[in-house]
Amino acid sequence: MAEQNAAPTNSTARITVRKTYKLYIGGAFPRSESGRSYAVTAADGSFLANAALASRKDARDAVVAARGAFAKWAGATAYNRGQVLYRVAEVLEGRRAQFVDEVGAAEGLDARAAGLVVDAAIDRWVWYAGWSDKIAQVLGGTNPVAGPYFDFSLPEPCGVVAVVAPQQSSLLGLVSVVAPAVVGGCTVVVLASEERPLPAVTLSEVLATSDVPGGVVNVLTGRTAEVAPWLAAHMDVNGLDLAGAAPADVQGLEVAAADNLKRVRRPDPREDWAAEPGLDRLRAFLETKTVWHPVGI
């Protein structure tokens, strides 16, 4: 990023092509319909880029896109979902250098530290990708009911999940909240870290080029306090991960989410994004379906 913003030092120096950061909705990269953008600065306060400032309409469009993608994504075979998600990790790895720059600038890390964060994010994505065809075996099962019935339970995605991404951890935190939702078959509208949104936009470029169907992950950038309430109150959103919500806003968002009894995952202030995540986040947006059938001849 530093290079992109460096001023030309002499008349023969090349003028850098500055990147325009946009939203990612339904597999396309629109600007905010509101036409608004906001300045994103590095950890040291220097200007990095302008990012789109998502509006209520953008949030609603993203939910429509996520809903539209849900049936196909949830209905894909687990093997297929795992392949698609692993492909994301491959493309992430290929763009490693860019992420190291962006994460370093956003989080104020030197190249080595940023590299470790990016590696962890890629590994996290791989870890979750591998869960796609194992979740049902670990979280499902047959139930030994007292009667002549075959009865089994299996996990199913709850639908569209709105995610307020972690504010500090711009890539590892983001991956840690998006991957567990999509690997289970949910589709996602994620609101990127407000101050550190650029790695999220770059991640959406990765998603767009890695076989993930449009609409499965939708990325909004903008003001968390402005957009999160629209997502929390949206009646076609089924789950809400409040990982990056400000403590003062959590209660209001949970109250809004109660209108259609969204599955809410509350933020954990002690969350350590570098730690092994366990199954909690995977389980948070899965329903359990139990099917009964008589046994006899």
Partner 1 sequence: MRFEYAPAPESTAVVDVAPSYGLFVDGAFVDPVDGEPFKTVNPATEEVLSEVVAGGPADVDRAVRAARRAYDEVWSRLPGRERGKYLFRIARILQERARELAVLETLDNGKPIRESRDVDVPLAAAHFFYHAGWADKLAYAGFGPDPRPYGVAGQVIPWNFPLLMLAWKVAPALACGNTVVLKPAETTPLTALLFAEICQQADLPPGVVNIVTGAGGTGRSLVEHDGVDKVAFTGSTEVGKAIARSVAGTGKRASLELGGKAANVVFDDAPIDQAVEGIVNGIFFNQGHVCCAGSRLLLQESVAEEVLAALKRRLGTLRLGDPLDKNTDIGAINSPAQLARIRELSDIGEAEGAQRWSPACELPERGYWFPPTLFTGVSQAHRIAREEVFGPVLSVLTFRTPAEAVEKANNTPYGLSAGVWTEKGSRILWMADKLAAGVVWANTFNRFDPTSPFGGYKESGWGREGGRHGLEAYLHG
Determine which residue in the list 6, 13, 255, 274 makes contact with partner 1, applying CB under 8 A. 255
Binding residues among 21-60 for partner 1 as defined by CB under 8 A: none
The CA distance from 148 to 160, in Å, is 37
Residue 247, φ and ψ in degrees, nearest 5 = -50, -40
Residue 219 or 282 with smaller CB distance to partner 1 = 282
Is 181 near partner 1 (CB under 8 A)? no
Is 137 near partner 1 (CB under 8 A)? no
CB-count burial class (<10 Å; 0-12, 13-18, 19+) for 208? middle
Q: How many residues line the site for partner 1 (CB under 8 A)?
A: 37
For residue 37, the cross-strand partners are 52
Is 143 near partner 1 (CB under 8 A)? yes
Is 268 near partner 1 (CB under 8 A)? no
Stretch that binds partner 1, among 7-15, 92-100, 135-143, 167-175 (CB under 8 A): 135-143
Residue 51 or 158 with smaller CB distance to partner 1 = 158
Is 134 near partner 1 (CB under 8 A)? no
Q: Which two tokens stand for residue 278?
A: 């366990």
> At which residue do the structure tokens 């209108």 appear?
259
For residue 114, the cross-strand partners are none
Is 119 near partner 1 (CB under 8 A)? no
Kindly state the DSSP code that residue 20 receives in the 8-state scheme: P
Q: Are 45 and 88 in contact (CB under 8 A)?
A: no
Q: Coil, strand or helix: which one is 43?
A: coil
The residues that touch partner 1, with contacts defined as CB under 8 A, are: 138-139, 141, 143-147, 149, 151, 153, 158, 238, 250-255, 257-261, 263, 278-280, 283, 287-294
